[in-house]
Amino acid sequence: MWTSINKKFILFLGIIFGIGIISGIFYFSFLSGDDKNIIISSITNFFNDLSNIKINFIGTHLIILPLLWVLSLIVIGIPLALFYLFYNGFLIGFTMSNFVLVAHFKGFIFGLIYILITKVIFLFFLLIFIISIIRIGLIVLKKEKLKNEKIYVLSKRVLLCFSLILINDLILYFLGDNLINVFNFLVI
């Protein structure tokens, strides 16, 4: 039922996310040769140090997500949340392009695995989080009756998504590097 109510939001957010991925790929393709050489050396170092890398999104999510939530109460959070979704898509497109440049098809496979491990759960809960804060912003704009009750219910959903994102970040911090290292044979 939740998805049937939010089909338009999900489609709209999917389009923004897709545009972000395509923009990341195009941005990478327009980089100069010197910039690509710097990226190649950075990604090669990343692949070589893969066993020593910790995946840590905790600090970023502790700052950005509550800020978006609070700003949604004064409507500024809506465009910022949309930009944050676009930004995540951009990073995925750019990252995949980097991996393909360095390791070709094996880099593509490794990139898919890396994104599945590090981003899929986060993006699922981020989608629910963003839909909820957009609805909060729209309720504030429309000055609806029963506004406080609706905002309270949506805020509980936002808090739940935020908590689950942080739990996912903690799991990635402690176990993500082990999961990624299982697949490092693809690029080393």
Q: What is the pLDDT of residues 11-38, one digit of tens each?
A: 999 999 999 999 999 999 898 889 889 9
Q: Which residue has the higher pLDDT, 182 or 113?
A: 113
Domain map (residue ranges) of the chain: 2-186
- Which of the pair, 57 or 51, is modelled with greater confidence? 57
pLDDT digits (tens, 9 = 90+) for 129-187: 999 998 888 888 887 666 777 888 888 999 999 999 999 999 999 988 888 888 877 77
What local confidence, expressed as pLDDT, does residue 8 receive?
A: 82
Over range 47-54, report the average pLDDT: 79
Largest CA distance in the chain: 60
**Tokens 């986060």, residue located:** 122
